[in-house]
Amino acid sequence: MTAHIPAHLKYTKEHEWASAQDDNVVTIGITHHAQQQLGDVVYLELPEIGKTVEKDKIFGTVESVKAVSDLFSPLAGVVVAVNEALVNHPEDINQDPYEKAWMIKILIKQPEHLDELMDSVAYARYLGQHTK
């Protein structure tokens, strides 16, 4: 099975994705590969609106039948939106990790940091090296 990796997103080594909008707001979620490794997700904990998140620091946790896993923010910023519907239906993370299962939106201070994240090609290579 090859992991599904959309071309328009940016990726981290911790298997989060980030999607930049033009107004410096970045949407964050976890990748197809991440949900596959977790198995059926049963709980999700997300920060509240207004909270500051740091780059590469924990912003929440996701818990599956099998394991619990921390969520790491790809970038620093302030939380401006939280997907409350997803907290109530965390199984959507397994169904649709890139659309329905977006987790938070943050307002970033340093848009140039986006370029430090992996693009889809780099992430595909990273997966290839680390999952064989």
Partner 1 sequence: MKRTPLYDCHIRLGAQMTDFGGFEMPVRYSGDKVEHMAVREKVGLFDVSHMGEILIAGPLAEEDINRLLTNDATKMQNGQAFYAAMLNTEGKIIDDVVACKFSAEKFLICVNASNREKDFNWIRENCSYAKDVSDDFAQIAVQGPRALDLVAALSQKELGFLKRYHFVEGKLHLELQTTDAIIARTGYTGEDGFELYVPARDAALVWEALLKVGALWGVIPCGLAARDTLRLEAGMCLYGNDIDEDTTPLEAGLDFVVKLNKTIPFIGQDALQKQKLNGIAKKLCGLRVIGKGIARHGYSIHAKTGERIGIVTSGTQTPYLNQAIALGYVNGTFMHPGTEVAVDIRGQLIPAQIVPIPFYKKATKELS
Which residues sit at the interface with partner 1, rule CB under 8 A?
1, 36-37, 39-40, 42-43, 61, 63-66, 68, 94
Contacts of 90 (CB under 8 A, 6+ apart): 41, 42, 43, 44, 62
Closer residue to partner 1 in complex, CB, 67/122: 67
Residue 74 and residue 18 in contact, taking contact as beta carbons nearer than 8 Å: yes
Give the E-state strand segments of 21-99 in sequence order. Answer: 25-30, 41-45, 52-53, 58-64, 68-72, 77-82
CB of 23 vs partner 1, minimal distance in Å: 34
CB of 20 vs partner 1, minimal distance in Å: 31
Closer residue to partner 1 in complex, CB, 110/131: 131
CB of 67 vs partner 1, minimal distance in Å: 8
User: Rounded CA gap, 92 and 122, in Å?
Assistant: 26
User: Order of strands across the sheet with 41-45?
Assistant: 41-45, 58-64, 68-72
CB of 113 vs partner 1, minimal distance in Å: 29
Closer residue to partner 1 in complex, CB, 74/90: 90
Closer residue to partner 1 in complex, CB, 36/52: 36
